[in-house]
Structure 1
Amino acid sequence: MVTEYESTQAAEIEAWKRAKPAILSRRFGTLPKRFNWAVDQIVPYIPLSQTFGWLDKTAVWLSDERVIVRDAGVSQRDELQEKDLNLSDRLAEGTHRWAMGLAAAEGAVTGVTGLMGLVADIPAVVTLALRTIYRTGLCYGFDVKNEREVALGILAVSGANNMEEKTEALTRLEAVLSQLSPGGGHSNSDNVTSIDRSKVTAQQLARQLSVNLAKRKALQTVPMIGALVGGSVNAWYIRDVSLAARRVFQDQWLRQNHKLAHVAA
Structure 2
Amino acid sequence: MDNSWSIYEQQIAKALRLWEKELLKPPGLLEKTSKAVSTRINQVIPDKVHQTITAAVKGIVQTSLFSIDYIPSSPPLVELSLAARDHKAEETISLFKKLAAAEGAGTGAGGILLGLADFPILIGIKMKLLFQLAHIYGHSTQDYRERMFVLYVFQLAFSSQLKKKPLFETILHWNETVSSLPSEESYVQHIDWQQLQQEYRDTIDLRKMLQMVPIIGAAVGAWANYGLLDELGSAAMNCYRLRRLQQSYKQNE
Query: Would you say same fold, with TM above 0.5?
Result: yes
**Could you tell me which of 58, 63, 69 is aligned with 1:61?**
69
Amino acid in the other structure paired with 2:135: L
SS of residue in 1 equivalent to 2:249? coil
1:99-144 Cα deviation digits (max 9, x unpaired): 1001101111111122222321111111111111111111111123
State yes or no: 1:212 paired with 2:231.
no
Letter in 2 for 1:161: S
1:1-265 paired onto structure 2 within 5 Å: 1-20=4-23, 27-31=33-37, 34-39=40-45, 41=47, 42-46=49-53, 47=55, 48-56=57-65, 61-66=69-74, 77=76, 79-80=78-79, 83-145=80-142, 146-147=144-145, 148-162=147-161, 164-175=162-173, 177-179=174-176, 186-187=178-179, 190-192=181-183, 195-196=186-187, 199-258=190-249
Q: Contact 1:2–1:260 at 8 Å: present in 2 too? A: no
Change (3 A) 1:89 1:252: same
Aligned-partner SS, 1:17: helix
TM-score (norm: length of structure 2)? 0.81
- Percent of aligned pairs sharing the same letter: 22
Given that 2:105 and 2:222 are in contact with CA atoms closer than 8 Å, whether structure 1 keeps it comes out as: yes
Residues 1:234 and 1:16: Cα distance change in structure 2 (over 3 Å) = same
1:69 corresponds to which residue?
Answer: none
CA contact (8 A) 1:29 1:161 kept: no
**CA–CA distance in 1 between the matches of 2:78 and 2:64?**
29
State the partner residue of 1:71. Answer: none
Contact kept, 8 Å, 1:49 with 1:202, in 2: the verdict is yes
The structural deviation recorded for 1:246 is: 0.3
Does the 8 A contact of 2:71 with 2:141 survive in 1?
no
1:55–1:123 Cα contact (<8 Å) kept: no
- The answer (yes or no) to whether the contact 1:106–1:231 under 8 Å persists in 2 is yes
Task: Note the C-alpha offset of 1:210.
Answer: 3.4
- Matched to 2:164, the amino acid is K
Q: Tell me the number of residue pairs that the alignment of Structure 1 and Structure 2 aligns.
A: 241
In 1, Cα distance between equivalents of 2:46 and 2:156:
24
> Residues 51 and 77 of structure 1: is their aligned pair in 2 closer, same or farther, counting only changes over 3 Å?
closer
What's the CA shift for 1:169? 1.9
Q: Per-residue displacement from partner, 1:157-196 (whole Å, max 9, x unpaired)?
A: 111332x222122123334x2247xxxxx44x64349943
Alpha-carbon spacing, 1:220–1:249, altered in 2? closer, same or farther (3 Å): same
Query: Which deviates more from structure 2 when the two are superposed, residues 95-104 or residues 207-216?
Result: 207-216
Cα 1:65–1:207 change in 2 (3 A) is same
Structure 1 alignment gaps of length 5 or more = 67-75, 181-185
**Unaligned stretches of 5+ residues in structure 2:** none
TM-score, reference length from structure 1: 0.78
Q: Which amino acid aligns with 2:78?
A: E
Q: Structure 1 194/212 Cα, relative in aligned 2: closer, same or farther at 3 Å?
A: farther
1:204: Cα distance to partner? 3.0
